[in-house]
Amino acid sequence: MIKRRLGNNLEVSAIGLGCMGMSFGYGPAHDKNEMISLLRAAVDKGVTFFDTAEVYGPFANEELVGEALAPMRDKVVIATKFGFKLDPNGGPQWVGLDSRPEHIREVAEASLKRLKTDVIDLLYQHRVDPNVPIEDVAGTVKDLIKEGKVKHFGMSEAGAESIRRAHAVQPVTALQSEYSMWWREPEKEIFPVLEELGIGFVPFSPLGRGFLTGKITEDTTFDKTDFRNTVPRFNAENRKANLALVEQIKQIAEKKNALPGQIALAWILKQKPWIVPIPGTTKLHRLEENIAAAEVELSAEDMKLIEGALQKIKILGDRYGASTAKLVNR
């Protein structure tokens, strides 16, 4: 697969793999051995960039990624995250934010063990903590980099001011935030800052949490543990209205002899050369489809047609429920 560069010197495959859904978020955890096989298949097919976090499970996803990638550790870049306060009773949900320096260190040490590695390639602050100065967060990661435990510093769903303040203390290699054909907010204020500062961008949910693949309809039901049940954008009424976007993508895909999801990913790749999406999947054929999106060529005319289609469609529903929405863009 072709490579892209995040920040000054982190080279990764043009399309990475978001691993969360293997263990958490979209229903019950999948079979461990099957997911290990999938992760190793991804490496064989050219994927070098893998995304996880302590909160996915919690802990289970880091353990899965660590075990699967240990035999080919020198071939891959592993990104993980800190910043949530987990349920002290061992529940599956976070109970708040915590980016205190001592907590960052605790999480980093624990993640190193779960990932079966001696260094974390890219360590993100999962969400900006309003109770901890971002300079203290960046300074702590800077110290971890000096100690050889971390290679690169990242942020997730951070606002422009937080990014600038953090970057002044420790250069930010990548920002990870949601971005896709149906959530384009980062284009307004975030992209210009990233371009100015030389920071890479890693879109999560580049396929709209599966919606842009065309496989989800107004009649689709989700497992009771699937967090999309709590997302306003996925309620029955909004989902029905939002299918207009999928129909437009399908028409474009047919002309390009591609799949809707591949068009959605190719569109992201075309935006900027420093963008690396991380679609998630638990199926080998979906992995292969996503990887093949890197070979889909969209011309300037294609992009103009897509833009015209997107401008005509209003996406209904918030992307998060109220409790989660307040944690982003600080």
Both tokens of 7, joined, read: 């920040």
Q: What is the DSSP string of 317-330?
A: S-SS-HHHHTTS--
pLDDT (tens digit per residue) in 182-214: 999 999 999 999 999 999 999 999 999 999 999
| pLDDT digit string, tens, across residues 238-278 | 999 999 999 999 999 999 999 999 999 999 999 999 999 99
**pLDDT at residue 150 above 80?**
yes
Residue 38, CA distances (Å) to 12, 33, 160, 173 in order: 18, 9, 36, 27
pLDDT tens-digit map of 33-46: 999 999 999 999 99
Rounded Cα–Cα distance for residues 271 and 286 (Å):
23
Average pLDDT over all residues of the chain: 96
Bond before 232 cis per omega within 30 degrees: no
pLDDT value of residue 329: 52
Q: Give dist(CA 188, CA 110) in Å, integer.
A: 37
Q: Rounded to the nearest 5°, which phi and psi values hold at 111?
A: -65, -40
Strands 3-6 and 10-13: antiparallel
Known catalytic residue at 26: no
- DSSP-derived secondary structure for 113-150: HHTT-S-EEEEEESS--TTS-HHHHHHHHHHHHHTTSE
pLDDT-derived band at 181, boundaries 50, 70, 90: very high
320 Cβ contact partners less than 8 Å away, ≥ 6 residues apart: 231, 328
Give the position of tokens 């996880």: 52
Residue 110 · residue 58 · CB < 8 Å? no
Identify each DSSP E strand in the chain by its residue range: 3-6, 10-13, 17-18, 49-51, 77-82, 84-86, 94-97, 120-125, 150-156, 172-178, 200-204
- When pLDDT is cut at 50, 70 and 90, the band that residue 84 belongs to is very high
Would you say how long the chain is, in residues?
330
Residues 102-145 pLDDT 10s: 999 999 999 999 999 999 999 999 999 999 999 999 999 999 99
From 26, 56, 124, 179, the catalytic residue: 56
What is the CB neighbour count within 10 angstroms for residue 15?
A: 28
Name residues whose C-beta falls within 8 Å of residue 126's C-beta, 6 or more positions apart in sequence.
Answer: 53, 55, 81, 82, 83, 84, 156
DSSP 274: T
The predicted structure's pLDDT at residue 89: 83
pLDDT in the model for residue 92:
77
Say what percent of the chain tops pLDDT 70: 98
In the chain, what are the domain boundaries? 3-208+274-296
Is the separation of the CB atoms in 148 and 119 below 8 Å? yes
| Cα separation, 313 vs 303, whole angstroms | 16
Q: What is the CATH number of domain 3-208+274-296?
A: 3.20.20.100
Where is 37: in which H helix or E strand? Answer: helix 32-44
pLDDT tens for each residue of 61-82: 999 999 999 999 999 999 999 9
Residue 251: its pLDDT value, please? 95
